[in-house]
Amino acid sequence: MSANVNEFDAIVLGAGAMGSAAAYYLTQAKQRVLLLEQFELDHQKGSSHGLSRVIRYSYDHPIYRSPEC
Ligand SMILES: Cc1cc2nc3c(=O)[nH]c(=O)nc-3n(C[C@H](O)[C@H](O)[C@H](O)COP(=O)(O)OP(=O)(O)OC[C@H]3O[C@@H](n4cnc5c(N)ncnc54)[C@H](O)[C@@H]3O)c2cc1C
């Protein structure tokens, strides 16, 4: 694949939970985003993967809280 970096407003490195979320919200803000990932989609090698991961609905600091919670 070849791409001209000038075609993008943002380049996100890593398509784990953080990078994917950043890329998603950047596209929602109408930004042209290039999301680069070293492994195949849905690979199991990152911190975001594993059977022990849980999403909490309560956190000790307001910046982590979703507006829906
Ligand atoms: C064992 C364990 C249990 C955890 N449990 C919880 C939990 O229960 N609840 C919770 O909220 N959090 C938990 N965490 C923390 C949470 O999983 C991580 O904070 C979060 O997944 C990190 O997401 P990330 O996108 O930053 O990293 P990652 O998911 O690791 O994604 C990084 C991505 O970047 C890619 N990448 C790296 N370098 C390059 C490169 N040079 N070029 C291209 N791509 C690259 C990697 O391949 C990977 O896909 C846990 C973490 C671990 C390790």
The preferred substitution site among 1, 36, 48, 60 for testing ligand 1, maximizing ligand atoms within 8 Å of CB, is 48
Specify the 3-state DSSP secondary structure of 22. Answer: helix
3-state secondary structure of 23: helix
So where are the chain's domains? 5-39+48-64
d(CA 20, CA 4): 21
Rounded Cα–Cα distance for residues 31 and 45 (Å): 28
Per-residue pLDDT of the chain (69 residues; tens, 9 = 90+): 677 878 999 999 999 999 999 999 999 999 999 999 999 988 999 999 888 988 887 778 888 776 665
Q: Cα–Cα–Cα angle for 18, 24, 7, nearest 5°?
A: 110
Q: Whose CA is nearest to atom 6 of ligand 1?
A: 53
pTM of the model: 0.85
Å from CA of 14 to ligand 1 middle: 9
